[in-house]
Chain A
Amino acid sequence: MNSSFVLSSATFIYGLATVFYIGSFAFKKKVLAKAGFFILCTGFVFNTAGIGLRWVESYQMGYGHAPFSNMYESLVFFSWTMAALFIFVELKYKEQGFGVFISPLIFLAIAYASFDPGISSKINPLIPALKSNWLIAHVITCFLGYAGFAVAFGFSIIYFVKPAQPAKGAISARLPSWEVIDELTYQMVVFGFLFLTIGIITGAVWANSAWGKYWSWDPKETWSLITWFVYAIFLHLRLMRGWHSRNLALVSIVGFVAVLFTYFGVNFLLSGLHSYG
């Protein structure tokens, strides 16, 4: 058994969990959501094992590095952080209605890694710039940040699916109330903001030891700063200007678009120092 097989399994299991969540939403069956959660947790176990195995394999190949060094590995890890955060939130808040909005994101990230022919799943040795202890800290914190924003995005979408006072028996009536979503979105943005901040900072300290500049307005850096600005705006609007619900959810959605551009757009459309993921 190798890591690719385990990670492909994780992809299919996440896909299955998504199907169950959508089924639960469409047919108003709570038991399907319960099953979906169980399946998703299984996928998470495979995802974890796959990352661990890949780490071991890179040592067996003689390269010996953490599996955070290219687009494929970062996407797999992105799924992992989103799944971890989602499982945590679901266990803590015991709300089962929102899995239908989060599980597709978890599935899409890892599926994109597996199925896009442009993304190589080969384990490659590290180039000199990536050989640093900062690699692990930087990647983990950035992706925890991205995961926070992704889950917040999933919650924000609910505002546009569910009216404030849904009719009894409507599909959306089973979704969490606006009050709960508002709180959860905020919690996720705060989590993401803290980790994005740490991610940018670890990146800056690393850049200073690799290139002698803690900030060089590289497109990746600039876009992560833009993302940081958007969520700073979110926090100020909520805490200082009393914004809530749909208006604020729009800011969270704009923020997630900035996250996506920071993650994918910069690599595919712009050039810079950060070509590896």
Chain B
Amino acid sequence: MKNKDTIPRQIWEFFCSVKLTVYTLVLLAVTSIIGTVVLQNGTPRQYIDLYGQGVYNLIKVFHIDDMYHAWWFLFLLVLLCINIVVCSVERLSLIWKIIFPKQIRFNPDRFLQGKTKQTFVADQDPDLVAAVCEKWLSKQVGPVHRQKDDSTRIMYAEKGRWTRLGVFVVHASVILLLLGALIGAVFGFKANVRIDEGEQTRTVFTAKTREPVHLDFVIQCNEFEVKFYDTGAPEEFRSNLTIIEDGDKTLTTDIRVNHPLRYKGINIFQSSYGTASPGAAVVTVADNSTGQEITRTLQVGETIPLPEDAGSFQLQGFLPHFDFRGRNLGEAFFGKVNLKGKQEFQIGLPLQFPTFDKMRKGRFSFFVKEFEKKYYTGLQVTKDPGVWYVYAGFVLMILGCWVTFFMSYQSFLIALNPMDGGGTRIHLAGRTNRSAQNLKLKLARMATHLENQFKKG
């Protein structure tokens, strides 16, 4: 019955072709370049500034702004997976019987007519030679199978039949990796959060959509510390965290870069830091007409009256990077000045430049004398139940590659012919499914070794 051309069969054949594998890999390799050249996950503004509106529309249609998660890229990955599964099923069903035979068979002619054959002569008679060869073959390779054709004695041994499974392990590992990635994407999250020193939170925000995620426990940041080398390069970022579960402090520990905290399936990583917005500052107000100065601690948002009922000042907030006419003046407070009969205006009080506000040459000048500097720690908080599948995939891939590339199925055959007038002619041949060159060298070494054994007697 000829059912080769049925449609399901044709589809099956399409998916089990190595051509498809090669084309898919080429497409994956070529399209992957796009995402390394075009900005990923930028804002519309960034794209329009970089490439113009027309190109941005194109980027949007093909999801190039997040191309590694675009439908067509995922489609290529799925195609690769189907291709791998179909190819593996097809090939495994073909060679299963070869890998696990009921009975080991061999065809001496295929060995003896091959290019690898080594032939030499021993003075001893065939019985003795056979005994020596068999012992040696079983030690070097494995159990010896015997056969006798006419006057020719044949011995056969093999090893590494199972190594033919290696290539399937490699391909299974690719599937396992992608499965792990899928599990992580569906059941896990990647989020981050900033916690000021002394503060706590149980809510973190996903990296992409900024959606809140509520944890089963509270993270408290007790302290953040950054150390620098003499060169000014950062040496260490360290956060001291306490985990609070149902009101109990269950764990207090340090985390550093490369030394995260893993707690009940949630991973907490040190990822950034900065100066926390302070809640209060000690502000000095100088009345330049009288030389009088007053110094007071102000809460952010607090308003104080200015001397002689001239108006009011409100401390509005803190900026980590105060931008003044395009220059970054560093950390600064800012506030609002309201003078009677005049329009209110905003002023910046950079901490590095106490006389900055004086240069405004107003009646009142302000500067921040001191404030309690606190850090915030930036934490990456993730959950990834798929990571163990990915790691299992990693291990299998390395083992599978090792077996596939560096181990092989090798079989060896020795044929002995008695010679007229005594002595034995010895043929040594081998076959392998990989690196014939290596086998050739190995056979030559084996032949020399055997020959020497007989010469010694």
Tell me the A168-209 residues at the B interface (CB within 8 Å). 183, 187, 190, 193-194, 197-198, 201, 204-206, 208-209
CB of A233 within 8 A of CB of B26, answer yes
Nearest Cβ distance between residue B204 and chain A, in whole angstroms? 12
CB of A230 within 8 A of CB of B437, answer no
Contacting B257 at CB < 8 Å: which of A128, A187, A230?
Answer: A128
Compute how far the CA of A215 lies from the CA of B185 in the bound complex, rounded to whole angstroms. 12
A212 within 8 A of B: yes
Contacting B22 at CB < 8 Å: which of A204, A213, A236?
Answer: A236
Query: For chain B, which range describes its interface: under 10, 10 to 19, 20 to 34, or 35 or more residues?
Result: 35 or more
Please classify the interface of chain A as helix (H, G, I), strand (E, B), loop, or mixed, using the class held by over half of its residues. helix
Compute how far the CA of A31 lies from the CA of B33 in the bound complex, rounded to whole angstroms. 46
When distances are taken between beta carbons in the complex, the residues of chain A under 8 Å from B159 are: none
Compute how far the CA of A204 lies from the CA of B391 in the bound complex, rounded to whole angstroms. 9
Nearest Cβ distance between residue B156 and chain A, in whole angstroms? 26
Contacting A232 at CB < 8 Å: which of B25, B235, B260, B269?
Answer: B25
CB of A241 within 8 A of CB of B231, answer no
Also in contact, A229 and B36, with CB within 8 A (given A128-B258, A241-B18): no
B167 to chain A: closest residue by CB? A239
Chain A residues bordering chain B, tally (CB within 8 A)? 44
Residue-by-residue, is A214-231 near B (CB-CB < 8 Å gives 1, otherwise 0)? 110101001101100110
B116 within 8 A of A: no
Contacting B380 at CB < 8 Å: which of A124, A205, A211, A233?
Answer: A211
When distances are taken between beta carbons in the complex, the residues of chain A under 8 Å from B33 are: 222, 226
Tell me the A104-135 residues at the B interface (CB within 8 Å). 124-125, 127-129, 131-132
When distances are taken between beta carbons in the complex, the residues of chain A under 8 Å from B390 are: 204, 214
A45 within 8 A of B: no
Interface hub of B28, B29, B381 (most chain A Cβ within 10 A): B29
B interface with A by C-beta (< 8 Å) = 18-19, 21-22, 25-26, 28-29, 32-33, 35-37, 40, 68, 181, 190, 229, 231, 233-237, 256-260, 267, 269, 271, 380-382, 387, 390-391, 394, 397-398, 401-402, 405-406, 435, 437
CB of A233 within 8 A of CB of B29, answer yes
A interface with B by C-beta (< 8 Å) = 63, 124-125, 127-129, 131-132, 183, 187, 190, 193-194, 197-198, 201, 204-206, 208-215, 217, 219, 222-223, 225-226, 229-230, 232-233, 236-237, 240-241, 258, 266, 270
Nearest Cβ distance between residue B37 and chain A, in whole angstroms? 7
Contacting A212 at CB < 8 Å: which of B181, B269, B397, B402?
Answer: B269
Compute how far the CA of A201 lies from the CA of B231 in the bound complex, rounded to whole angstroms. 33
CB of A129 within 8 A of CB of B257, answer yes
Contacting B271 at CB < 8 Å: which of A211, A217, A223, A232?
Answer: A211
When distances are taken between beta carbons in the complex, the residues of chain B under 8 Å from A201 are: 394, 397-398
